[in-house]
Amino acid sequence: MDLDFWWLLVIPVAFAFGWIAARYDLKALLSESANLPRSYFRGLNFLLNEQPDQAIDAFIEVVKLDPETIELHFALGNLFRRRGETDRAIRVHQNLLSRADLPVTERDHALYELGQDFLKAGLLDRAEETFRMLQTGDHALGAQRALLTIYEIEKDWHKAIDTARQLETMGTEPLGTAIAQFHCELAQEALQQKKPDEAQRQLDLALRANPQNVRATILFGDVDAAAGAYEKAIAQWRRVEAQNPAYLPLVAEKMMNAYEALGRQEEGADLLTQWVDEYPSNDLLDVGYQHVAALRGLDAAHALARTQMQKSPNLAGMTRLLEAQQAKAEEPRRSELELMRTLIRQRTKNLPRYTCQNCGFRARLFYWQCPGCSGWETYAPRRVEPITASN
């Protein structure tokens, strides 16, 4: 009974304390709200209604009334940058940095935002200088990521490698895929400058960073082919099958050229036929069809296209099949086949060949780095089947 009596006393007292605390918080909130200019709430309302232009005007008025509003400066600068008014965003953040009483954390934040302004404006040198000032603190990681973006844009691959390594030490996800590609870019430059030794050195580094890097293997073959070592080049390109057979279309024509240089075209045609059979691909079929037709005649090329169509029906394969049938047909059947082939080719010739698996950017050429999202190795090296037209 005594316990029940005390509970009857405790519950009302706890309720009373809660009511008093709530009233106190409400009064504090109302007091703070009363001190805020009406323009602040107007600006928030405009933001909620997706009216950034009016929101900016309202926030500018608040900043004029109360220059100490640091957070509003940041909000205003970000709004300017999102609108593309980078010059105004830069002035806002520079104005913040000019304040002697700005706390260190807020100064770092302002520097980071200013670097983003410069980057958005395309002022890469000034952006790099700003981000390099953020070696420590809450924004150090973001600054390093931005620096990596700048070095990729500038194609300064040595700095990109150093920055990626630095990011890994800061606890980011492994960047071996990107680092390997940076070394491949350097190898490509060395090849263009006719420096095969430097190209091979960079390719060795690329494979250390990512042993599954197909591009390095392909470039190793290119280095050997340029030196006339076709046997070694073929051996390198054949390694692609074990690494990732989806990339075989990128070496198919190179392989045939090497086999032709060695006078072993039939061996190359056998290999291409095997690849088309095991790894159905429009690109492989294109290369295989041309070389099989030249070496063994249209009947053999027709059989290759027919086998491909049975395994993986598509419009590109159908074009090759109709081409082979048309060459053997007589009038009027030949004209009918030509009409069908023309219609299919018109339907497919202007469509993109490759699609980024990350952002969906489409292009007719294969890229190791997507022009849309700047991701590395996001393109699958196979042509995209035409999309059916909607009714």
| CB environment 249-283: b (16+ within 10 A), e (fewer) | bbbbebbbebbeeeebeeebbebbbebbeeebbbb
Task: Report the alpha-carbon distance of residue 93 to residue 111 in Å, rounded.
Answer: 8
Residue 342: both structure tokens together:
């023309």
> What secondary structure does DSSP assign to 221-235, as a single string?
HHHHHHTT-HHHHHH
Any binding-site annotation on 184?
A: no
Q: Which amino acid is at 186?
A: L
CA nearest to 313, candidates 280, 355, 343? 280
User: Residues for the chain: how many in total?
Assistant: 391
Distance between CA atoms of 251 and 271, rounded to whole angstroms?
A: 12
Quote the CA–CA distance of 143 and 366 in Å, as a whole number.
31
Measured distance CA(308)–CA(81) in Å, rounded:
52
Q: How many CA atoms lie within 13 A of 171 on its CB side?
A: 3
Give, as one character, the DSSP assignment of residue 376: B
Residue environment code for 128-163, b if the CB has 16+ CB neighbours within 10 A, otherwise e: bebbeebeebebbeebbbbbbbbbbeeebbebbbbb
Q: How far apart are CA 136 and CA 42, in angstroms?
A: 37
Binding site feature residues = 356, 359, 370, 373
As annotated, the binding site for Fe cation includes 356, 359, 370, 373
